[in-house]
């Protein structure tokens, strides 16, 4: 199913799940039948190793910290393994940042960072969205 162009922005790009061990964490999804997408990838900006599984047009991203200072390591320490963030796909990251800033949205940082597979990402503050950490993702063309 392909959505009309005007509805393609803001699809769920992926769900990010904080895990201690990629191998153990990916097993349930593989048993469910979700195929692995590509190779595991280190995302240096977040100090994580990412394993992506395909769930229809969205991904499940399993995030294993590579460093104790990783935000994912800190999350696991505080709250245990589990759902960490919701990522929405946008066409033009800078335009969305400007638009949301004008509406007083709270960002963790408005400086785009490098995400998985060459994407550019920013995070909105979970306080702004009732406890949900929202990531905006722009794919390169
Ligand atoms: Zn993410």
pLDDT score of 2 = 60
Q: What spacing in Å lies between the alpha carbon of 70 and ligand 1's midpoint?
A: 14
pLDDT digits (tens, 9 = 90+) for 34-90: 999 999 999 998 899 999 999 999 999 999 999 998 999 999 999 999 999 999 999
Q: How close is the Cα of 133 to the center of ligand 1, in Å?
A: 10
| Fold for the domain defined by 9-138 | 2,3-Dihydroxybiphenyl 1,2-Dioxygenase; domain 1 (3.10.180)
State how far the Cα of 62 lies from the Cα of 105, in Å rounded to an integer: 27
Domain boundaries, the chain: 9-138
Mean pLDDT along residues 22-39: 96
Q: How confident is the model at residue 113 (pLDDT cuts 50, 70, 90)?
A: very high
- Counting other chains too, the contacts that 63-71 makes at CB distance below 8 Å and 24 or more residues apart are 63/16, 63/17, 63/18, 63/19, 64/19, 64/20, 64/21, 64/22, 64/25, 65/18, 66/42, 70/46, 71/46, 71/47
Q: How far is the CA of 16 from the centre of ligand 1 (A)?
A: 5
Percent residues over pLDDT 70 in the chain: 93
The CA 17 to ligand 1 mean position distance, Å, reads 8
Q: Which residue has the tokens 């800190």?
A: 74
- Give the model's pLDDT for residue 3: 57
pLDDT, residue 8, reads 57
> Average pLDDT, whole number, for the chain?
93
Q: What is the Å distance from ligand 1's center to 78 Cα?
A: 19
What pLDDT is stored for residue 7 in this prediction?
57
Q: Report d(CA 85, CA 141) in Å as an integer.
A: 24
CA end-to-end span of the chain: 20
């Amino acid at each position: 199913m392909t959505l009309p162009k005007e509805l393609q922005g803001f699809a769920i790009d992926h769900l990010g799940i904080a895990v201690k061990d990629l191998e153990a964490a990916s097993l349930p999804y593989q048993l469910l039948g979700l195929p692995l997408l590509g190779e595991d990838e280190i995302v240096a900006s977040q100090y994580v190793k990412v394993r992506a599984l395909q769930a229809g047009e969205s991904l499940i991203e399993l995030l294993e910290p590579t460093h104790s200072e990783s935000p994912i390591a800190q999350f696991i320490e505080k709250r245990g393994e589990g759902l960490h963030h919701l990522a929405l796909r946008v066409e033009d990251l800078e335009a969305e940042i400007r638009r949301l800033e004008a509406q007083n949205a709270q960002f963790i940082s408005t400086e785009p960072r490098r995400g998985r597979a060459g994407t550019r990402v920013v995070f909105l503050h979970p306080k702004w969205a009732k406890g949900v950490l929202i990531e905006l993702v722009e794919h390169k063309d």
